[in-house]
Amino acid sequence: MDPRSPYAASKAAADHLVSAYANTYGISAVILRCTDNYGPYQLPEKLIPLMIANACEDKPLPVYGDGMQERDWLFVEDYCGAIALALEKGKPGTIYNVSAGMPQPNLKIVRTILAQLKS
């Protein structure tokens, strides 16, 4: 773990806090680290809902930089399934990385959204 921003440091600190609490008080804890989620009720300023809303309203599609920054998107219900699996079968003290395993450039995500909206 080598956080490069205050946000990343806060996530790493949370993992350490859970581990320390579990060790100190003898409780069972499993940590999940997930990639970006998308799905219903997502905050409207996030990439996927923003692109959908703006495209439907003929507003500009703000893609930052060259759009080649990659993200691994996971549908929220799939992440819920991973949480349920970890609760049922996860080994206490273990950290699980959860992802779709398919990182995509932001620009490709935007183009896919536009293609789906046109069909």
Mean pLDDT of 36-42: 95
Domain extent for 60: 29-118
Domain count, the chain: 1
Question: Max Cα separation, the chain?
Answer: 55
pLDDT, position 9: 97
- The token duo for 108 is 């490709």
Q: By the 8 A CB rule, do 73 and 109 touch?
A: yes
Q: Which amino acid is at 10?
A: S
pLDDT, position 119: 73
Q: What is the pTM of this model?
A: 0.85
Residue 62 lies in a domain: yes
Residue 7 lies in a domain: no
Residue 45's domain is classified under what CATH number?
3.40.50.720
Q: How confident is the model at residue 1 (pLDDT cuts 50, 70, 90)?
A: confident
Residue 66 lies in a domain: yes
Q: How confident is the model at residue 48 (pLDDT cuts 50, 70, 90)?
A: very high
Q: What does the alpha-carbon distance between residue 5 and residue 61 come to, in Å, rounded to a whole number?
A: 26
